[in-house]
Amino acid sequence: MQINGIDIEDTFAEAFPMTATRLIITAADRFWALRAAESMTGFATSVIGCGCEAGVEREVSPERTPDGRPGIAVLLFSVSGKELEKQVVRRVGQCVLTCPSTSVFAGMEGEKKVALGSHLRYFGDGFQISKMVAGKRYWRIPVMDGEFVAEESTSRTSAIGGGNFLVLSESLDGALKSCEAAMDAMRQIPNVIMPFPGGVARSGSKVGSKYKALHASTNDAFCPTLRNVTKTLLPPGVGAALEVVIDGLNEADIARAMRVGILAACEIGGRYGLRGITGGNYGGKLGQFHFHLHEILK
């Protein structure tokens, strides 16, 4: 398969099950809501070393937020409900509670609950109070600019992590331009995030390492400097490879994000030396979700 003369390898991206939640952060204006969201989703690129994967999903208009103020929706993914709750409480406590004018609310409903205000309320040192509104409990915690409002809890749902595609280009500049076009398109898709910086990882990894303490290590098959000393998977003429990683709440939205991202990259990539698109997988041994590139792009 080719798109605009760019080869699409007949392979699949391999993804694995996770659990996820959505939070809605509101503030006096968009600037402060976004600052809180960016802070709490920092250092959240990979569960390998960060405990969770997180990112800004979308902006939420005042008409659609619980308190009628500008909002930002964030998604957080982790490998277990226990770890997800730990990350939510820590990140909201350190990055949203501390941010001027903010409040935080549940962004999804469900039976599996994740603590939010129920844990954060203790910062109020006994001065905190709760209020029931339409069957939901909210905590009001006194802070120096007034009060921080946090919903009692949010919910979590089954999710998927590790959807991906790799951009193979003649140069780093071409790979970057292709990925930037992909990101512009993919950020329009709901229920997904691209957790790495700018949505892109230069340090794609393989499972395992020669060093026993490491669970993952550099994907040498896609490193251009190792072309002559390892079993390379880089086609001739490719000087740079970048990986786009997608986490999502369901298979359909991850597939949709991959499709629009690949098409956007191929639309402009030919002008900048984009040679091919492939997928990252481990022979089907890592995860149960397989996103076949040709099927997605048909």
Fold match between domain 2-14+159-297 and domain 19-157: yes
Average pLDDT over residues 91-101: 98
| pLDDT at residue number 262 | 98
Helical pair 172-186 and 251-269, crossing angle rounded to 10 deg:
140
Q: What percent of the chain has pLDDT over 90?
A: 94
At 215, the pLDDT band (50, 70, 90 cuts) reads confident
Q: Would you state the pLDDT for residue 282?
A: 85
Confidence band of 84 (pLDDT split at 50, 70, 90): very high
CATH architecture of 19-157: 2-Layer Sandwich (3.30)
The answer to whether domain 2-14+159-297 has CATH 1.10.357.10 is no
- Quick one: average pLDDT of 119-135? 96
For 188, the token pair is 């329009």
158 pairs with which residues across the strands? 19
φ, ψ for residue 237 (rounded to 5)? 90, -10
For the whole model, what pTM was predicted? 0.94
pLDDT, tens only, 237-285 = 999 999 999 999 999 999 999 999 999 999 999 999 999 999 999 888 8
Is the pLDDT at 41 greater than 90, yes or no? yes
Give me the DSSP letters along 46-92: -TTTSS-EEEEEEEE-GGGSTTSS-EEEEEEEESSHHHHHHHHHHHI
Q: Where are the domains of the chain?
A: 2-14+159-297, 19-157
The model's pLDDT over 99-123, given as tens digits with 9 standing for 90+, comes to 999 999 999 999 999 999 999 999 9
- How much is the pLDDT for 237? 95
Per-residue pLDDT band for 27 (boundaries 50, 70, 90) equals very high
